[in-house]
Amino acid sequence: MSELIGCFSSDFSKPDNYCKAIQHLLDEHPLLKNKMKDFYYIASHLAYKPTRADRRKLLDDLYNEVQVFYELMKKHAFKEEDYLFQLLTRYIGAENGPISSMEQEHLVVKENITLFIEKYTNVNINNPDEIREMTHYISIIFHTLTDHLLKEEEILFPLAEQLLSEKEKQQLEDVVNSYDHKKFA
């Protein structure tokens, strides 16, 4: 690949409008961000005072919020990983660029959600260190995804809009629409 096309070219800018598929992915961000704020808010209360009297209820609420969020996030991530990333690698490659970074961030989030869920099943609520450990996982998830979603909005989606052909955009739309009706393990 002698010449890279992408966000470092002089004519790169965010488009005024996106194709339906990319707009659909963008439209999922507000709900994801709201769910992230919800679970981060609960986790913050637990982190600052892990011995509080209502810690069991807050942990249960946090677990439920993370579960709801994870279902939404899995759908969003699969749409990107299974198709959008594959399309973009044809143009910009997969090594050491935005796609590699995005995939790594997806892994970090999934790993920390898994760690949180595993810890929840056997947490000693009378041990402040264990509660703080759980809130640490939540902090990693929140901060990783905050940066990740911003990169999607500012770099990845504008890049996709610029690089993908109309045929690829239509294929992406078909995939995005079909994934909205699937359940993910």
pLDDT tens-digit readout, 40-74 = 999 999 999 999 999 999 999 999 999 999 999 99
Instruction: Return the number of other C-beta atoms located less than 10 Å from residue 141's C-beta.
Output: 26
Our CA dihedral for 42, 47, 48, 51, rounded to 10 degrees, sits at 100
Distance CA(50)–CA(56), nearest Å, equals: 10
Asked if pLDDT for residue 2 goes beyond 50, the answer is no
- pTM of this prediction? 0.88
Domains identified in the chain and CATH numbers: 25-179 (1.20.120.520)
Mean pLDDT, residues 125-140 taken together: 97
Q: Please report the pLDDT score of residue 11 as a whole number.
A: 61
Asked if pLDDT for residue 136 goes beyond 90, the answer is yes
Our CA dihedral for 79, 82, 87, 92, rounded to 10 degrees, sits at 100
What does the DSSP 8-state code read for residue 94? S
Q: Treating both helix axes as pointing N-terminal to C-terminal, what angle do 20-48 and 128-151 enclose, rounded to 10 degrees? A: 160
Encoded amino acid at 41, one letter: Y
